[in-house]
Amino acid sequence: ETGLVTLDSGYMNTGACTSSITYLDGERGVLRYRGYAVDELADKCSFVEVAYLLVHGTLPTRRQLTHFSRLLGRYALIHEDMIHFFDRFPPHAHPMAILSSMVNALSTFYPEITENPLENLDCMVARLLSKVRTIAAFSYKKSIGHPLVYPRHDLSYCANFLNMMFDSPVQPYEIRPEAVAALNKVLILHGDHEQNCSTSTVRIVGSARVNLYASISAGISALWGPLHGGANQAVVEMLERIYNGGGDFRKYVEMAKDPSSLFRLSGFGHRVYKTYDPRARVIKKTCDDLLEALNVSDPLLDIAKELEEYALKDDYFLERNLYPNVDFYSGIIYRALGIPKNMFTVMFALGRLPGWIAHWKELWDDPESRLYRPRQIYTGPGAREFVPLDDRV
């Protein structure tokens, strides 16, 4: 009666599947990648180290990290023919639409990924991690009509991204270590999150034996939604409306409590966390540290903190266990780095990419894994007699 089917289907229709990648305890606010606490990884590792951990299951040795970094450097360029794709998108195209299209198109440039999906997987993984970063930066440069800045062999993963985004022939970009450190942290904190909407999408598409790049492209589309990864852009748009309206966040909190209103406090609440999202705690501190280091202040951060404090004294939120989630403060970091709002969810995708890859690989590595085929509880009409067109009223 519970609708449970056996594990061998790989997907009990309770929505649970097995995975060894991320452990998440929503009641206690515990999040571990391959057994390591995420806040410790964010504090002590680079994003590339954590990407290796998620994909391969162990923290890399120095030799392994050097080899992985070399692969990322080798595959940082995209095929020059792909650069012409950017010219064909309309100027207002959302970067998530561009990213999803370009990642799917990558599989046409590397047909071997469909013919022999698990061959040279290390190269295919590094190629994707590196090229998604380049595609993201190029889409930004194209959107503002600036010349592309190519990846440099002498820069780390995050420093290269910032340089590709903001360097320019007329105004060289100063790569600040604090900015690179903050970007590493925030990407690590987005690395994986168990069976969330976009990861489940990658797993479902991947279970049909779809190649890695096309499966990831589907995950990017799922992440775009404002209830999921698109929330980081929605949070800043909400904070901007509050700021431009004089800073009175209380009416937004009250609106969010009104059952007749469709408005939700973006960045608040979570399907699994029924306590403070551990990632939000680290991101909030990273915000403070980065703004102090860059000697900038952001009125939206002040509003966000006051709104959080006000909401967390309100029974409506406390009774429903609604706390800030990973999206509530992340946009403030992106703003401080100079990243435009419509790129925030692209940043989420950049961080989540190693997690998606790890889940796709976990499925393909498991000889027992089968096509995902969730079942449903049918609520439509029972069997009916057919009525010819002329007899229908």
> Restricting to residues 310-339, which ones interact with ligand SDX according to CB under 6 A?
320, 322, 325-327
Give the nearest distance from C-beta 116 to ligand SDX in angstroms: 31
Residue nearest to ligand SDX (CB): 269
CA distance 273 to 321: 8
What H or E segment, with its residue span, contains residue 32? strand 30-33
Size of the site for ligand SDX (CB under 6 A): 21
The pair of structure tokens assigned to 175 is 């790569």
Give the nearest distance from C-beta 196 to ligand SDX in angstroms: 3
Instruction: Say which amino acid occupies 233.
Output: Q
Give the nearest distance from C-beta 310 to ligand SDX in angstroms: 13
- CA 220, 225, 227, 230 torsion: positive or negative? positive
Among candidate residues 228, 179, 182, the one with its CA nearest the CA of residue 201: 228
231, 238, 287, 300: which one binds ligand SDX (CB under 6 A): 231
Nearer to ligand SDX, 130 or 325 (CB): 325
Residues with Cβ < 8 Å from 132, sequence gap 6 or more?
99, 103, 349, 350, 353
Pattern 156-175, binding to ligand SDX, x per CB under 6 A? --------------------
Nearer to ligand SDX, 13 or 195 (CB): 195
Stretch that binds ligand SDX, among 65-73, 173-181, 225-233, 299-307 (CB under 6 A): 225-233
The pair of structure tokens assigned to 42 is 């964010």
> Restricting to residues 241-280, which ones interact with ligand SDX according to CB under 6 A?
256, 259, 264-272
Catalytic residue among 270, 277, 298, 359: 270
Q: What is the DSSP secondary-structure string of 122-185?
A: HHHHHHHHHHHHHHHHHHHHHHTTPPP----TTS-HHHHHHHHHH--SSS-----HHHHHHHHH
Long-range contact list for 33-36, CB < 8 A, 24+ apart? 33/191, 33/192, 34/58
104, 139, 156, 196: which one binds ligand SDX (CB under 6 A): 196
Instruction: Say which amino acid occupies 130.
Output: S
Give the nearest distance from C-beta 355 to ligand SDX in angstroms: 9
Residue 141 lies near ligand SDX (rule: CB under 6 A): no
**Coarse DSSP helix, strand, coil percentages of the chain, rounded to the nearest 5 percent:** 55, 5, 40
Give the nearest distance from C-beta 173 to ligand SDX in angstroms: 29
Catalytic residue among 190, 228, 327, 359: 327
> Restricting to residues 72-91, which ones interact with ligand SDX according to CB under 6 A?
none
Nearer to ligand SDX, 291 or 322 (CB): 322
The reply to whether 270 belongs to the active site is: yes
List phi, psi (to 5°) of 34: 50, 35
The reply to whether 327 belongs to the active site is: yes
Nearer to ligand SDX, 39 or 327 (CB): 327
227, 296, 318, 371: which one binds ligand SDX (CB under 6 A): 227
Nearer to ligand SDX, 142 or 270 (CB): 270
CA distance 113 to 141: 29
The pair of structure tokens assigned to 243 is 């700021």
CA distance 98 to 361: 24
> Restricting to residues 275-304, which ones interact with ligand SDX according to CB under 6 A?
none
CA distance 218 to 201: 7
Give the nearest distance from C-beta 270 to ligand SDX in angstroms: 5
CA distance 197 to 10: 17
Nearer to ligand SDX, 256 or 282 (CB): 256
Nearer to ligand SDX, 34 or 142 (CB): 34
Where on the chain is the footprint of ligand SDX (CB under 6 A)?
193, 196, 227-228, 231, 256, 259, 264-272, 320, 322, 325-327
Q: Which are the catalytic amino acids?
A: 270, 327
